[in-house]
Amino acid sequence: MGHKTTNTGRATFATRLGAVAAAVGSAVGFGNIWRFPYITGQDGGGAFLIIYVLAVLFLGIPLMIAEFSIGRTAHRNVVGAYRKIAPGTPWWTVGALGLAVAMLILGFYVVISGWTLCYTWRALTNDFSATVSAMQMADASLDAAGALTADFGNFVSSPIAPLAWTILAIIINAGILLGGVQKGIERASSVLMPVLGILLLILVGNSLRLNGFADGMRFLFVPDFSKVDGHVLIDAIGQAFFSLSVAMGIMVAYGSYLDDSTKLGKTASQVAIMDTLIAILAGVVIFPACFSFGIAPGQGSGLVFVTLPAVFLQMPGGYIIGVLFFFLITLAGITSCMSIFEVPISFLQEELNMSRKGAVAASCVFALVLGIACSLSLGLWNGFQIAGDCLFDFLDHVTSLYMMPICALLTAIMVGWALKKNFLEHAISNGGKDSAWFVTPLVWILRIFAPVAILVIFLSGIGLI
């Protein structure tokens, strides 16, 4: 029957490589190509990098293993999985929280996906240079970066164009997701991730020829510890969670599609290594480009949509490099977006007995409605504020400052304290078949280190320490 399933008939990924491609596809997203470089830029380059790698090793990987263990042991959607692992207890609410995080993130992630599609199109049609010339005609004092900043602001706050691109992003996701776990997610990831890798290597090759290469490398790799303070630590931990897609139900959902002989520790480490490598390579692409054209790398969130188009305009061969770059970030966005979608889709299929088609349709309609509201909140509906933020920023803040730390904290406590130690040992060793030498340090990380670290970021994120 062609399809590999568990003995309950539930879908699993067909191959190890496909499973890793899907999980790496989820992990590698705007977090790697946009957020990691700009936070590294703000937080001291190499010094941030060292702390980030430690956060991935000692917090990110342990939490990913915990989430894989929950998903793979239960073979259920995120809510069903927490319930099945700890039956008759309120721990299922942590699964529900993960589901809620995924649904809220979906609202702004589809909008950013739409922006990347639009910018790929604009790069293809050479629209950045046309825009800059037109804007400079109107105001001769504008430089390229100034023109592109104003242009980006106009684009995201306009009522129609970003919505059209958001809808296209949702349609692309729906097309893949309708194919299911193996023929949709796994197949798409297995094709798109190698393409992403090749694009990235071409861009790294281009970076080598830039005269700012050495400065860029120095910035990224030579640590400047004078910039390190509590806030840099917090950024590093927050970025590690976001980038590895933990604390939002995704790795529980993808873990539930792993077969019973997959080594969870090895898989989580492979995903984390690839994710970190790709983030670093994105830095290798971006920083030399900034230094070559005298643009400060610590520009913040405008780095990808404003700074880089300005850099590409000046770079020899910048047209093709720009097209490849925006295509790269679009691919990264699609494979991440589909993993967020899979959280509510698997929930609807299993808990509400919907068909795959119905679940995909319902999730897309939800993403569309929330996406429209998010997009309009940057323009037309900007007057409508929640806790001082427009809806777009509110969803970003409420998920990353409150909901994700709480979800991560409770997951660590549940696996570390509430479940028996042999839950983790059984999951990691595949029922005793494989070695689980790291289970003791892992349990202690989940019991003590992770909760303390997460509590500290949580309290400081909300301004209490």
User: Residue 309 carries which side chain, given as an amino acid letter?
Assistant: P
- Measured from the Cβ of residue 273, the count of other Cβ atoms closer than 10 Å reads 13
Check: CB of residue 232 under 8 Å from CB of residue 51: yes
d(CA 287, CA 212): 8
CB closer to ligand PHE, 19 vs 145 = 19
CB closer to ligand PHE, 32 vs 375 = 32
CB closer to ligand PHE, 400 vs 429 = 400
Check: CB of residue 193 under 8 Å from CB of residue 275: no
d(CA 229, CA 448): 22
The CB-of-119 to ligand PHE minimum distance in angstroms stands at: 16
The CB-of-3 to ligand PHE minimum distance in angstroms stands at: 26
Check: CB of residue 36 under 8 Å from CB of residue 279: yes
Q: Which residues contact 90 (CB under 8 A, 6 or more apart)?
A: none
d(CA 394, CA 108): 10
Check: CB of residue 32 under 8 Å from CB of residue 282: yes
CB closer to ligand PHE, 48 vs 128 = 48
CB closer to ligand PHE, 132 vs 334 = 334
Residue of 368, 413, 299, 377 whose CA lies nearest to 34 = 299
The CB-of-391 to ligand PHE minimum distance in angstroms stands at: 17
For 286: left if phi > 0, alpha if psi spans -120 to 50, otherwise beta; the answer is alpha
Where do contacts with ligand PHE occur on this chain (CB under 6 A)? 26-27, 29-32, 105, 242-243, 245, 248, 250, 336, 339-340
For 430: left if phi > 0, alpha if psi spans -120 to 50, otherwise beta; the answer is left
The CB-of-67 to ligand PHE minimum distance in angstroms stands at: 13
CB closer to ligand PHE, 242 vs 394 = 242
The CB-of-167 to ligand PHE minimum distance in angstroms stands at: 20
CB closer to ligand PHE, 79 vs 272 = 272
User: Residue 348 carries which side chain, given as an amino acid letter?
Assistant: L
For the chain, helix (H) and strand (E) counts, in that order, are: 24, 0
The CB-of-200 to ligand PHE minimum distance in angstroms stands at: 14
Residue with CB nearest ligand PHE? Answer: 31
The CB-of-326 to ligand PHE minimum distance in angstroms stands at: 16
